[in-house]
Amino acid sequence: MQLFRLLKIMFISLRYGLDDLVTSHHRMRFFRIRLRSLLFWRSLERPRGERLRLALEALGPIFVKFGQVLSTRRDLLPADIVDELVLLQDQVPPFGFDQVQKTLDRAYADRADNVFAHFDTEAIASASVAQVHFATLHDGRDVAVKVLRPGIRKIIEGDVALLRVAAGMIERLWADGKRLRPREVVDEFRKHLDDELDLMREAANASQLRRNFPESDLLSVPEVYWDYCATEVMVMQRMSGTPINQIDKLRAQGIDLKHLSTAGVEIFFTQVFRDGFFHADMHPGNILVRPDGTYVALDFGIMGTLTDIDKNYLAQNFLAFFRRDYRRVAQSHVDAGWVPADTRVDEFESAIRAVCEPIFDRPLREISFGKLLLRLFQTSRRFNVEIQPQLVLLQKTLLNIEGLGRELDPDLDLWKTAKPYLERWMSEQLGLRAMVDNVRREMPFWSNTMPQLPRLLHSYLSRESASEDMRAELEFLHGRIGRINVWLTGICVFLVMATAFLFFLLLR
Shared domain check, 174 and 287: no
Shared domain check, 233 and 124: yes
Of the pLDDT bands very low, low, confident and very high (cuts 50, 70, 90), residue 252 is very high
DSSP 74-126: TTTS-HHHHHHHTT-----PPPPHHHHHHHHHHHHTS-HHHHEEEE-SS-SEE
The answer to whether 336 and 321 are in contact (CB under 8 A) is no
What DSSP designation does 277 have? E
Q: Which residue range forms the structural domain that includes residue 301?
A: 241-430
Shared domain check, 358 and 261: yes
Shared domain check, 423 and 441: no
Question: Total domain count for the chain?
Answer: 4
The kind and range of the H/E element at 410 are none
**pLDDT one-digit tens code per residue, 257-285:** 988 988 888 898 889 888 889 998 877 77
Cα–Cα separations (whole angstroms), residue 164 to 5, 13, 127: 15, 15, 23
Shared domain check, 425 and 444: no
Cα–Cα separations (whole angstroms), residue 424 to 266, 307, 326, 401: 12, 19, 21, 21
Q: Supply the pLDDT for residue 99.
A: 94
Q: Is the pLDDT of residue 312 over 80?
A: no
pTM exceeds cut of 0.85: no
Shared domain check, 348 and 283: yes
Spatial separation of the C-alpha atoms in residues 347 and 477, rounded to whole Å: 52
Boundary of a domain, candidates 197, 215, 239:
239
Selected catalytic residue, list 281, 299, 310, 409: 281
Spatial separation of the C-alpha atoms in residues 276 and 308, rounded to whole Å: 8
Question: Dihedrals φ, ψ of 297, to 5°?
Answer: -95, 140
| Percentage above 90 pLDDT, the chain | 22
**pLDDT one-digit tens code per residue, 157-209:** 777 777 777 777 766 666 555 655 677 767 777 777 777 889 999 999 999 99
Shared domain check, 293 and 387: yes
Q: What angle do CA 353, 358, 363 make, to 5 degrees?
A: 135
Q: Residues, the chain, total? A: 508
281 flagged as catalytic = yes
